[in-house]
Amino acid sequence: MTKLMQKEEAHKMVDRMPHDATWEDLIHEIYIKEAVENGMNDSNDGRVRDVKEVRAKYGLPE
């Protein structure tokens, strides 16, 4: 489920960026923030797999 954006949080993100930041820089920061939040939510909800399990599934060395 998508979390609603908090305007104050968005303002803080922009304020932390350097003055010469580009739109691409901002989009990258938003992407990273969302990826980390999604990963944390998956972890908290038990939607994770052990690295050994994934490596074994794809025949990769440990």
Kindly give, in sequence order, each residue whose CB lies less than 8 Å from that of residue 33, ignoring residues fewer than 6 positions away: 13
Asked if residues 29 and 13 have their Cβ atoms less than 8 Å apart, the reply is yes
- pLDDT at res. 59: 94
What pLDDT sits at residue 4? 79
Spell out the per-residue pLDDT of the chain, length 62, in tens. 567 778 999 999 999 999 999 999 999 999 999 999 999 999 999 999 999 999 999 999 98
pTM above 0.85, yes or no: no
- Can you give the pLDDT at residue 1? 58
Q: Give the pLDDT confidence score for residue 46 in this predicted structure.
A: 96
